[in-house]
A and B are shown apart, each in its own frame.
Chain A
Amino acid sequence: MEKLINEFSVGLFFWQTVLFILLLLLLRKFAWKPILNAVNDREDGIKNALAAAEEAKKEMQNVTADSERLLKEARAEREAMLKEAREIKDKMIADSKETAKIEGDKMIKQAQSAIESEKKAAVADIKNQVAELSVEIAEKVLKEQLSNKKEQLKLVENLLGDVKLN
């Protein structure tokens, strides 16, 4: 202890105190404050950048979720549209089938009635022609047969008989 006290130099202590305080003040002004501020700024910058990245990531996730949702919606819509279209198609087919059937039926009926009337006309025509022909034939036959009297009478008789049967 005595050695320590003996070694203690007031002058060195004085200079150390003065120089150290001076150094502390100068360093505080010109070094430590700017350094610590710069380091802090940088750390804040990094923190902000990280937060921004996180934010962007979240945004991205939102966007992805949004697009996913939109896609889903679009898909559902497409599905619905397709379904609707199919339904419409089916309905249209059914409708047209119906219409076609009705139309066909109508046409068939028309055709049938036309055929009927044609037939009737044809039959009437045929009847007329047959009548004419028969009259002609009859005329010819009569002319032939009526060349003799007997024959004529017999024919008349037969005809009369036929008429009765009709």
Chain B
Amino acid sequence: MKQFGTIFNFELKSYFSNKVFVGITIFLVVIIAILMFFPRFVDVIPEEEEPTENLPIMLVAGDIPSSVMESISDTFSNYNVVFSDESVESMSKKIANDEAECGFVFSGYSICSYIVNNISMYDNNIALASELISESFRFDKLSESGLTKEESLNILTYEPEIETVSSGKNQRDNFFYTYIMIFALYIVILMYGQMVTMSVATEKSSRAMELLITSAKPVSMMFGKVIAACIAGFVQLVAIFGAALLFFNINKSYWADDEIINSIFDMPFDLFIYMLIFFILGFLIYAFLYGAMGSTVSKLEDVNTQVMPVQIMFIIMFFVVMFSLGSGNSDNLLMKICSFIPLTSPMAMFTRIAMTSVPLYEIIISIVILILTAFAIGVLSARIYRAGVLMYGNPPKFSTVIKNVFKGK
């Protein structure tokens, strides 16, 4: 236990005195500060009226219905709408010569042509125009059949009021922070997993291992290293998310309109606790595996190939969860199974809890399985470590490692 404490302190200290570690943390906090303070500064700078001559020119020609003519400038407010008598041919020539950006040639209530040079990814002019015309058409027809302007407006803009009574989760609200948390978990595990691997592999390649292994028990080594990495990662996350929360609260009034940002910072407390639990346990399991893999390489160059199996497993789990989350059906059979398998459950179960209603007993079973597995993998990886650290030369096959582990100490 004393050894564990010594190793833990030493490892933790080396994280916090690592310039890259501190640098990245500060950098991320600064980025978040800039993001969170952004609307405040934008508000302070007086918005200048954008001069109309800088807007791209949209040419409109042909037989334009009067109601379309009235509102077309409003619909395409980011264009300088110019009416003309051009034909399709002369208009496309002008557009090809960059004299205008795009144009419409109408013939009554149906669009004749939309003329544009390059159709950009986000070009929604056709949709806008179509909506404008159909609305004008309905409005005009209703007016023609004897309704007053107001009556037809009421009919056209009618919207029912629907009240939602939900017994489960609001997936739309939960989506963003679930997404962010899963992503944070993914990044942190990958990053710290690599750090643990490197730390073990460096000790081995610098041969400090020879001394360490004769000075300390492998279990103390493994747990000391991994838990130090876990705490370091945790502190980093707390710094980043804490800064985000702090800056958000300072600038809360400026963010009032942004639903996404508000939904992220409006995370329910119980979900936050679940996040902590799954974060820590998931982190531990993977960090142990990464550490064990690190102990089986003898040259730093081999680290990447050796951690590949763990990496691939982890990325697959990430994609399973991400696809399920994206598809809107987070409670499919695959997710249910994954939420009980220790390697996938941290992300899968957390997603299910956040997005759907999971019975409490399922959560408890999943957590208990996770805790037991984390401990078992910890001990197992200490044995792999012990067997692996003194093997030099080519990285051993996984089967050889396992054989050595079970063949005694």
Physical interaction between A and B: no
